[in-house]
């Protein structure tokens, strides 16, 4: 069992890295010549910019130098801010939010299902936040019948529908608060935990977490930047 979990954790980080690389490709393809000229100037002293023929060369050097990775895009965000590409900064912020939510849900569901996550690296402090959210749910568990909701979830498509239904209920309120959003994250984690515990579940825990993070990302983006719950 532990070997299987370790494999899944490794896959989580591999997929996170692929998502990061996709975002870097998006960024690179949207930089014009003037952007590159300013970016080279900004990065003088950090990397050998004269050897860079295009934006992807710059990204590779920054990545190899350890200045950017899927875990940390702060350096490249600051660079984009310096050349006034707020549109790219916004995309990088969305990446951070989705990444954080995916990791948070992954840790949360492992905690709920009693899986040993001690061998998992505590990326970005998500393990501590997941534990806090679980304590919140423990106090409300008797009044929330999550299992009935979870019984309808057999795939990421079903999960998306369930979350949309919950969101519609929240939309009846004048505005979504951080408390509402926190409960939405908790419910998503509980639903995923129950669905992924089913031996007949065909889709991976990570896929369900990613689907939920996609749905929650825009909500969190509307509320503001990532905060420690």
Is there a single domain that holds both residue 30 and residue 105?
no
Q: Is residue 91 part of a domain?
A: no
Q: Is residue 158 part of a domain?
A: yes
18/219: higher pLDDT: 18
- 110 and 209 co-located in one domain: yes
Confidence of residue 228 (pLDDT cuts 50, 70, 90): very low
Contacts 24+ apart (CB under 8 A), 21-26: 23/73, 23/91, 23/92, 23/95, 24/56, 24/59, 24/63, 24/68, 24/76, 25/56, 26/91
Q: Quote the Cα angle for 221-225-229, to 5°.
A: 105
Average pLDDT over residues 213-229: 70
Nearest to residue 16, comparing CAs of 124, 135, 115? 124
Domain shared by 126 and 208, yes or no:
yes
Which pLDDT score is estimated for 65? 94
CA distance readout (Å), 120 to 113, 116, 131: 15, 9, 14
User: Does pLDDT of 26 surpass 90?
Assistant: yes
Q: Report the CATH number that the domain containing residue 168 is assigned in CATH.
A: 1.10.437
Q: What percent of the chain has pLDDT over 70?
A: 69
Residue that finishes a domain, picked among 58, 84, 110: 84
Q: Does 124 or 225 have the greater pLDDT score?
A: 124
Quick check: is 177 in a domain?
yes
Residue 193 domain-assigned?
A: yes
- CATH number of the domain residue 17 falls in: 1.10.533
Q: Work out how many domains the chain is built from and give that number.
A: 2
Are residue 35 and residue 128 in the same domain, yes or no? Answer: no
Q: Is the pLDDT of residue 52 over 50?
A: yes
Residue 23 lies in domain? 1-84
Of 80-89, 182-191, 197-206, least confident by mean pLDDT is: 197-206
Reported as a single tens digit per residue, the pLDDT across 56-101 is 999 999 999 999 999 999 999 999 999 999 999 999 999 999 988 8
Same domain, 75 and 122: no
- Whether residues 57 and 102 fall in one domain: no
Kindly indicate the confidence band of residue 202, based on its pLDDT and cuts at 50, 70 and 90.
very low
Kindly state the average pLDDT of the residues 11-16.
80
101 and 142 share one domain: yes
Residue 228 counted as domain residue: no
Residue at 201 is within a domain? yes
Confidence label for 229 from pLDDT (cuts 50, 70 and 90)? very low
pTM for the model:
0.79
Each residue of 124-165: pLDDT tens digit?
677 788 888 888 887 766 655 555 555 555 555 566 666 666
pLDDT of residue 42: 96
Q: Are residues 176 and 126 located together in one domain of the fold? A: yes
Residue 153 domain flag: yes
> Bigger pLDDT: 176 or 75?
75
| Assigned domain for 89 exists | no
Where among 84, 113, 140 does a domain terminate?
84
117 and 206 part of one domain: yes
One domain for residues 208 and 107: yes
Given 53, 84, 115, which residue is the final one in a domain?
84
| Mean pLDDT, residues 26-40 | 96
Same domain, 103 and 214: yes
Do residues 105 and 23 both lie within one domain?
A: no
What is the pLDDT, as a whole number, of residue 20? 95
């Amino acid at each position: 069992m532990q070997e299987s979990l370790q494999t899944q954790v490794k896959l989580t980080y591999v997929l996170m890295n692929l998502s990061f690389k996709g975002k870097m490709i998006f960024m690179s393809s949207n930089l014009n010549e003037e952007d590159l000229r300013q970016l080279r100037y900004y990065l003088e002293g950090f990397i050998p910019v004269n050897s860079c023929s295009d934006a992807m060369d710059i990204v590779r050097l920054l990545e190899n130098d350890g200045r950017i990775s899927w875990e940390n895009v702060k350096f490249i965000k600051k660079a984009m801010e310096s050349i006034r590409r707020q549109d790219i900064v916004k995309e990088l912020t969305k990446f951070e939010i989705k990444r954080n939510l995916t990791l948070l849900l992954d840790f949360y569901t492992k905690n709920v299902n009693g899986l040993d996550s001690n061998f998992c690296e505590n990326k970005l402090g998500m393990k501590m936040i997941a534990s806090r959210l679980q304590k919140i749910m423990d106090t409300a568990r008797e009044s929330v019948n999550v299992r009935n909701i979870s019984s309808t979830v057999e795939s990421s498509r079903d999960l998306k529908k369930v979350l949309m239904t919950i969101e519609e209920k929240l939309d009846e309120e004048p505005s979504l608060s951080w408390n509402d959003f926190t409960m939405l994250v908790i419910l998503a984690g509980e639903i995923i935990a129950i669905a992924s515990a089913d031996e007949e579940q065909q889709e991976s825990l990570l896929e369900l977490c990613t689907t939920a993070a996609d749905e929650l990302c825009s909500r969190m983006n509307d509320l503001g930047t990532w905060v420690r719950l």
